[in-house]
Amino acid sequence: MAKDLAVILNNGSLNSAVTTALATQKFRPIMIYFDLGPGTTSRMRAAYDLQVAHYKPYREHTLSMPILTALPSTSDAAVAADPRQPGLVAPQLVNLLPLISAAVPFAAHYEASAIYLGLRIGPSPDELAQATEYVQILNELVQIPCQQQELEIVTPLLELEPWQVVDVGVQVAAPLDRGWSCLEETPEPCGSCRGCRNRETAFQQAAKPDPLRPARKV
């Protein structure tokens, strides 16, 4: 096993930027971007390319995974409005499975020590316990066919709040200006979509300036 290599699933997001920074503290990165086809923005891909230029990985690959955008999804608003709807953790874990399955052959080929991903659930006890158990099961499923008992799926952001992700990112010098959060296909963040609002809140709560937003004049 190549002790110094790790596969990192990176979609160009802020979480991916921080996760990759954490992984590179221990490993040389092999970065994988999943092209989900229609419904995804070119800005996410552009952000990924910027992160590749920043981290200069040992290898990087793009895999086509349009199946995830072909399936209907439950919106955040519907879940919030109807308590009978399942929590958002379940769809996240379901969508994670094909991504991990696609990454495992690369980990086996390169004899990598770990597979990193920026899955974040937060501190909610029930959802965190469910996600933690799920990742543990995935670890066992990955290790058996690869015959690599030391291969580990690592989710360093799993229990963090969004502001804590920002705080950790600053501590490890992650390129936060190369992590895209906006849901719109615009040259600059729109500032009004859910992704932009969540990002703004996270930076405000972390008391850190967002490098993608100009400083406001007092």
- pLDDT tens, 187-212? 889 999 999 999 999 999 999 999 98
What span, in angstroms and rounded, lies between the C-alpha atoms of 193 and 157? 23
Helix (H, G, I), strand (E, B) or coil at 99: helix
Q: Residue 141 has which token pair?
A: 């499923």
* Ordered structural domains, the chain, with CATH: 2-206 (3.40.50.620)
List the beta strands (DSSP E) in the chain.
Answer: 2-9, 28-35, 59-64, 112-116, 152-154
- pLDDT tens, 161-185? 999 999 999 999 999 999 999 988 8
pLDDT-derived band at 81 (thresholds 50, 70, 90) equals: very low
- pLDDT tens, 19-62? 999 999 999 999 999 988 765 668 899 999 999 999 999 999 99
